[in-house]
Amino acid sequence: MEEGQPRYSTEISDEYRFKYKQKIPRTPGLFYGDDREVIFKTMNALTYGAITVLVGATYGVTAGLVAKVRGKSDGWNHLCAGLVSGQVLGSFYKSVLIARWFSATFATLGFFIKEFADNDRFITDIGPANLPFLNFSELSLFTKRPPREGVKDSS
């Protein structure tokens, strides 16, 4: 292209630009691209990730503090933690109604998860004995060795 000649965007130049972008090394964590959308999406992901970490940390710290003050470890600690962490998350939306909804949801979930865990209502032993559709022994992938006489099994 001679000096002073305007550069036009044609199909050929656009195709070349696309192929050139594909050759840029895409190392995970280092490549953000040169488009604004990619950068703004990354910034949004970091922002929402930080909010999630803050809410989780608030839940954990509050549950620990309430348990320490009360001297008990039960579902009520998690109910209080859910109320506080829901308010923290709702404050980012600047809405009292959304904050109340998050608080009620987190408190209910925290309370019932703790109560179910304390009363052993969760499946604690997942395996072929409790879930027959996970029995892989027919595929001969996870077969047990037959016992041998006179040799103590290590397991």
pLDDT in the model for residue 70: 92
pLDDT in the model for residue 28: 46
Taking the C-alpha atoms of residue 17 and residue 20, their distance in angstroms, rounded to an integer, is 5
pLDDT in the model for residue 34: 47
Mapped onto helix, strand or coil, the DSSP state of residue 46 is helix
Residue from 20, 81, 89 nearest 53 by CA: 89
Please name the residue ranges forming H helices in the chain: 11-22, 36-70, 75-93, 96-118
Where would I find the beta strands (DSSP E) of the chain?
none
Which residues of the chain, if any, have pLDDT below 70? 1-43, 120-155
88's tokens? 């923290």
Q: Are 92 and 103 in contact (CB under 8 A)?
A: no
Read off φ and ψ for residue 130, nearest 5 degrees.
Answer: -90, -30
